[in-house]
A and B are shown apart, each in its own frame.
Chain A
Amino acid sequence: MATPTPTVTVDDPHGDAHAGDHAGDGHAGQAPMLVGHDGQLHPSNLQHFFVSSEQQFEASKLGMWLFLATEILLFGAMFVAYGIFRVQYPELFEAASLQLDTVLGATNTLVLLLSSLTMAWAIRGAQMDNRKVLIGNLVATIVLASGFLVVKYFEYEHKFHEGIYPGVNFELRGDTPTVAELDGVTAATPLFVPGSRGDGAHDVEAVESDAGVMTTAESPLTGEDQATPPGGTARGAAVGGAGLAATTGDQSAAGLETEHGDADRAAAKEAIFHDRRAGIFFSIYYMMTGVHAIHIVIGIIAIGFLTVFSIQGKYSSVWYTPVENVGLYWHIVDIIWIFVFPLMYLI
């Protein structure tokens, strides 16, 4: 809390000093509430190029809303990618989404909703000049947001453990072949076979009939499988046949006991892990949740600053613009998650 200043106040009953708010406008280091130059005084929270505090508040808020619009567009592109590939590979996406833990996702949804509540409550605290409510709710928001990240960490960790990486690195764990090793195999199968989509037997047939072609096929995209030792591709071909399905089935069944993984999960895993295109789903999953998690981290940092400043007593009902704006940001981060969760985990 700043020391009460004996100077005359105009519309600031709290006597807070905001020297830092004036960096760069010639008022740095000045403590009193009324500052100014050229013979003009203005409240210390009001930057000199604004006419009134209301104008300043509204300008900040409009700026924040515009920034939120850019956030929506940023995620919008990823939602579009999700929609396109969902339409292109509906069954694949359905099967792949079974790999996501709905319980953890729902927990995180609740955590974020709760944190939105505490954030809104913190703003209310600032408006009511109730510093206890303000600080308490800011801290609660940080705790909840960190909880979200912890849950997210365990989700990621589990996926990496199972070998679910995005795109070309998508692979089973252990001695099972990577998708990269299966490269020639699946590249030889047509992307769309009407009536046979998701039909594993057909794929295996195609693999076996095209095995000769496959061994000589140049991989167009991966560096890794150029480094595959001689025989590696052959192994891939062999495993790519009936053997793969058997081993995968065993391992996934064994490895999923701790999950609420059952037969359908294992079966789904078996089906999708034969399809290298499943990597697309997880690419989008990691991109969306990753970019979202970065936003959560930024939010935590911002709310951390708010907490420090509110402990210093900078915010009051007269001036709480940063609290309001970070609150808006936090809500948009939540809203984005509200859309990510059902699209990724539920449907």
Chain B
Amino acid sequence: METLTQSPRPAQPAPVPREARQYPVGHEPVHNYLREPRPADDVRGLARAWAWIKLWALSVDHKRIGIMYLVAVSFFFSVGGLLALGIRVELFTVGPTIMEPDTYNRVFTMHGLVMVFLFIIPSIPATMGNFLLPIMVGAKDVAFPRLNLLSLYVYAAGACIALYSITTGGIDTGWTFYTPYSKETGTAVIAMALGAFVMGFSSILTGLNFIVTIHKMRAPGMTWNRMPLFLWSIYATSIVQILATPVIGITLVLLVMERVFGIGIFDPALGGDPVLFQHFFWFYSHPAVYIMILPGFGVISELMGTFSRQRVYGYRAVALSSVAIALLGFLVWGHHMFTSGQSPVSSVVFSLITFLIGIPSGIKVFNWIWTMYKGSVWLKTPMLYALTFLFLFTIGGVTGIMIGALAVDIHLHDTYFIVAHFHYVMMGGTVMAFLGGIHFWWPKMTGRLYNETLGKISALLVFLGFNLTFFIQFVMGSQGMPRRYYDYPDMPWLEPLHQLSTVGSFVLGLGLLVVLVNGLLSLKRGKPAPGNPWGGATLEWTHTTSPPDHHNFHHTPLVTHGPYDYEVLFHSSGDSQGGAPIPNVEVGAPQEMGTTIDDGTTGQPDSATDM
């Protein structure tokens, strides 16, 4: 099935890059997006470097934008991680360890803000979403490529404003900006709030782009029920981004106005209401939790299907549960405010709806487990991260139900139990999915394979380090260790627990360092990846090379099967313990002429198992 040469050749035969010969036969990228468009051959030296920078920085190619996001997001992840290590070291002993209380307040606030606004919210949608979404729907690009590039620069501008706030004294309100303290404190709340406001635009633009792309740009045959689950979850995420982010925008503007003009809307002395700020804040920030975790669900669905060699069980239930979570997520913000003096009736209602969220989340977890059942589970690095996700997210989710109960929450509110809970969901959930996804799509993004042994070591270190760090915080929290505290002189018995937690955080940091080293090593001397190293059945594996071409596909793909129909693709469900079947990638395979294109109305089955 060697069909590579069917695309029109470039006018002058470009010199074949040295490495290109090493790609497996049939898997050579023709217009490798990493190298094309490229500066003219006669541009040399510094001018060439400058031309390269311009070609990347001004590129509207969704793949290059995704890579640039990946670099930025990884940078801020390490910044946030170093701040976290600072927090853990400070808590190593009772009393001052390495920093002053004021510094500590700034450090944990910056940790939260950097991790939430600069890392987790753009992490999966802006990197893997940008890179993969157009390929997965079979389009050449997102609907608004220039808007996409704009969102990257808006994000960068917001990040700069946010980091500027550190130089003007830092901010010590905690990431929640609660009034009235955020009005009283003399630090750089205004800069930080404006930074978050600006980054909100980036988030909105990305979500808008994705929704339009999914609605309007699916390839022929790509029905809604043939979309990979990753797309469903990104779609649900985008809904939340569009509907929730404007509210935090106006809330932060009101906060800035409160500080600048004293408008009094959040000020009880002027007749305002500080709890109103909390309502506004959580009306965004609780749905934002689903902005963070839903893309993770999508990644895990892909990993579970591909590495179990089995159609994801309950495809429609998993797909629709993403949308259900997105919509229910708008109705539970009050569970952050059980102790803020809201009426008991609303607390009960919010608690009830919080429990309801457990249903679609449970649907997902059970369906993933069922996907592995009787599948050929292939324990490669991405799958190890996926299993880690399953384990940690379940703990995080179930403790979430615990603290969604009114009486329990009164006891555990603002303790390390809460800290452990949301780290199990955010770090154990989203970050594990992020790492799993990065390992899964790394060969696609870079065209390089990474060292599997190092990958497995990193997964092991991350798993051990994470649990050592945060499981112990459940114990500390239930014993009364309050969150955001600088010191615990009244609870000296917690010192060994804190020390274990700190040790764990360094193990975790080491694991992440191994991930970084592995990635850099793979860029330097990784083996060129074939088009479909894992045997995936979605378009990015079956219809593009690794790395993909500049325009993704040579011909618009025609989708004739579901996203997890491995039997159709490989003619067997395959015992893959000894290595996945690697299909030939048919770059530029012509569309089957005469085939009826399924636009969703012809009644063709969405997946092979429906036949």
Residues of A within 8 A of B (CB): 23-26, 38-39, 47-51, 55, 58-60, 62-63, 66-67, 69-71, 73-78, 80-81, 84-85, 88-89, 165-169, 183, 187, 191, 219-222, 275-277, 279-280, 283-284, 286-287, 291
B246 touches A166 (CB 8 A): no
How far apart are the CA atoms of A47 and B207 in the complex, in Å? 21
How far apart are the CA atoms of A73 and B246 in the complex, in Å? 6
Q: Which stretch in B119-127, B153-161, B265-273, B463-471 binds the other chain?
A: B265-273
How far apart are the CA atoms of A39 and B554 in the complex, in Å? 12
B264 touches A280 (CB 8 A): yes
Q: What is the total number of residues of chain B having a CB less than 8 Å from a CB of chain A?
A: 55
Distance in Å from the Cβ of A273 to the closest Cβ of chain B? Answer: 14
How far apart are the CA atoms of A77 and B270 in the complex, in Å? 19
**Any chain A CB within 8 A of the CB of B145?**
yes
A24 touches B146 (CB 8 A): yes
Q: Residue of B at shortest CB range from A223?
A: B262
Q: Residue of B at shortest CB range from A187?
A: B269
Q: B interface, by DSSP: helix, strand, loop or mixed?
A: helix
How far apart are the CA atoms of A26 and B38 in the complex, in Å? 12
Beyond A24-B60, A62-B216, A77-B251, is A70–B264 a contact (Cβ under 8 Å)?
Answer: no
Q: Which stretch in B135-143, B375-383, B410-418, B511-519 binds the other chain?
A: B135-143
Chain A neighbourhood of B253, CB < 8 A? 287, 291
Q: Residue of B at shortest CB range from A180?
A: B262
Distance in Å from the Cβ of A193 to the closest Cβ of chain B? Answer: 14
How far apart are the CA atoms of A23 and B276 in the complex, in Å? 45
B140 touches A48 (CB 8 A): yes
B261 touches A62 (CB 8 A): no
B146 touches A167 (CB 8 A): no
A77 touches B280 (CB 8 A): yes
Distance in Å from the Cβ of A8 to the closest Cβ of chain B? Answer: 20
Beyond A63-B143, A73-B246, is A168–B204 a contact (Cβ under 8 Å)?
Answer: no
How far apart are the CA atoms of A92 and B280 in the complex, in Å? 24
A25 touches B216 (CB 8 A): no
B7 touches A38 (CB 8 A): yes
User: Could you mark each residue 147-168 of chain B with 1 if its beta carbon is under 8 Å from any beta carbon of chain A, else 0?
Assistant: 1000000000000000000000
How far apart are the CA atoms of A142 and B249 in the complex, in Å? 28
Distance in Å from the Cβ of B594 to the closest Cβ of chain A? Answer: 20
How far apart are the CA atoms of A255 and B352 in the complex, in Å? 56
Beyond A25-B60, A76-B247, A276-B270, is A169–B216 a contact (Cβ under 8 Å)?
Answer: no
- Report 24 cross-chain contacts, Cβ distance below 8 Å, ordered by A residue: A23-B146, A24-B60, A25-B60, A26-B37, A49-B141, A49-B551, A59-B144, A59-B212, A62-B212, A62-B215, A63-B209, A67-B208, A70-B246, A76-B247, A84-B276, A85-B273, A89-B271, A166-B257, A166-B261, A166-B264, A167-B258, A169-B262, A221-B269, A284-B265
Chain B neighbourhood of A62, CB < 8 A? 211-212, 215-216
Q: Residue of A at shortest CB range from B249?
A: A74
How far apart are the CA atoms of A237 and B410 in the complex, in Å? 43
How far apart are the CA atoms of A280 and B258 in the complex, in Å? 11
Report the number of A-B residue pairs with Cβ-Cβ less than 8 Å: 155
B556 touches A66 (CB 8 A): no
Chain B neighbourhood of A219, CB < 8 A? 269
Distance in Å from the Cβ of B544 to the closest Cβ of chain A? Answer: 15
How far apart are the CA atoms of A339 and B183 in the complex, in Å? 30
Distance in Å from the Cβ of B67 to the closest Cβ of chain A? Answer: 17
Distance in Å from the Cβ of B331 to the closest Cβ of chain A? Answer: 15
How far apart are the CA atoms of A202 and B180 in the complex, in Å? 30
How far apart are the CA atoms of A167 and B271 in the complex, in Å? 9
Q: Residue of B at shortest CB range from A78?
A: B250
**Any chain A CB within 8 A of the CB of B43?**
no
Q: A interface, by DSSP: helix, strand, loop or mixed?
A: helix
How far apart are the CA atoms of A111 and B257 in the complex, in Å? 29
Chain A neighbourhood of B204, CB < 8 A? 67, 70
A277 touches B270 (CB 8 A): yes
How far apart are the CA atoms of A81 and B258 in the complex, in Å? 14
Which among A58, A62, A71, A88 has the greatest number of chain B C-beta atoms within 10 A?
A62
Q: Which of A81, A169, A279 touches B276 (beta carbons < 8 Å)?
A: A81
11 A-B pairs besides A62-B215, A167-B261, A291-B250 with CB distance below 8 A are A39-B8, A58-B216, A59-B144, A63-B208, A73-B246, A73-B247, A74-B246, A77-B251, A191-B271, A221-B183, A276-B270
Q: Which of A66, A67, A280 touches B265 (beta carbons < 8 Å)?
A: A280
Distance in Å from the Cβ of A126 to the closest Cβ of chain B? Answer: 21
Chain B neighbourhood of A70, CB < 8 A? 204, 208, 242-243, 245-246
Chain A neighbourhood of B250, CB < 8 A? 74-75, 77-78, 291
**Any chain A CB within 8 A of the CB of B263?**
yes
Chain B neighbourhood of A58, CB < 8 A? 216
A24 touches B276 (CB 8 A): no
Q: Which of A47, A165, A167 touches B270 (beta carbons < 8 Å)?
A: A167
Distance in Å from the Cβ of B53 to the closest Cβ of chain A? Answer: 15
Chain A neighbourhood of B98, CB < 8 A? none
**Any chain A CB within 8 A of the CB of B324?**
no
Distance in Å from the Cβ of A52 to the closest Cβ of chain B? Answer: 11
How far apart are the CA atoms of A84 and B204 in the complex, in Å? 27
Distance in Å from the Cβ of B291 to the closest Cβ of chain A? Answer: 14
Chain B neighbourhood of A77, CB < 8 A? 246-247, 250-251, 254, 280, 283
Chain A neighbourhood of B145, CB < 8 A? 24-25, 47, 49
**Any chain A CB within 8 A of the CB of B356?**
no
**Any chain A CB within 8 A of the CB of B58?**
yes
Chain B neighbourhood of A165, CB < 8 A? 261
Chain A neighbourhood of B37, CB < 8 A? 26
How far apart are the CA atoms of A76 and B247 in the complex, in Å? 8
Chain A neighbourhood of B246, CB < 8 A? 70-71, 73-74, 76-77
B249 touches A24 (CB 8 A): no
**Any chain A CB within 8 A of the CB of B568?**
no
Beyond A25-B60, A77-B247, A84-B276, is A222–B254 a contact (Cβ under 8 Å)?
Answer: no
Q: Which of A39, A55, A66, A275 touches B242 (beta carbons < 8 Å)?
A: A66
Distance in Å from the Cβ of B92 to the closest Cβ of chain A? Answer: 37
Q: Residue of B at shortest CB range from A26?
A: B37
Chain A neighbourhood of B209, CB < 8 A? 63
Chain A neighbourhood of B140, CB < 8 A? 48-49
Chain B neighbourhood of A50, CB < 8 A? 217
Chain A neighbourhood of B270, CB < 8 A? 167-168, 221, 276-277, 279-280
Beyond A70-B204, A221-B267, is A167–B212 a contact (Cβ under 8 Å)?
Answer: no
Q: Which of B212, B269, B551 touches A63 (beta carbons < 8 Å)?
A: B212
Distance in Å from the Cβ of B249 to the closest Cβ of chain A? Answer: 6
Q: Which of B8, B58, B211, B247 touches A66 (beta carbons < 8 Å)?
A: B211
Distance in Å from the Cβ of B389 to the closest Cβ of chain A? Answer: 30
Q: Residue of A at shortest CB range from B215?
A: A62
Q: Residue of A at shortest CB range from B220?
A: A51
A279 touches B264 (CB 8 A): yes
Beyond A62-B212, A84-B276, is A283–B263 a contact (Cβ under 8 Å)?
Answer: yes
Beyond A24-B58, A38-B7, A70-B204, is A59–B269 a contact (Cβ under 8 Å)?
Answer: no
Distance in Å from the Cβ of B202 to the closest Cβ of chain A? Answer: 13
Distance in Å from the Cβ of A94 to the closest Cβ of chain B? Answer: 15
How far apart are the CA atoms of A69 and B141 in the complex, in Å? 24
Q: Residue of A at shortest CB range from B556?
A: A51
Chain A neighbourhood of B273, CB < 8 A? 84-85, 88
Chain B neighbourhood of A169, CB < 8 A? 261-262
Chain A neighbourhood of B242, CB < 8 A? 66, 69-70
How far apart are the CA atoms of A222 and B258 in the complex, in Å? 11
Chain B neighbourhood of A167, CB < 8 A? 258, 261-265, 267, 270
Chain B neighbourhood of A69, CB < 8 A? 242-243
Chain A neighbourhood of B147, CB < 8 A? 63
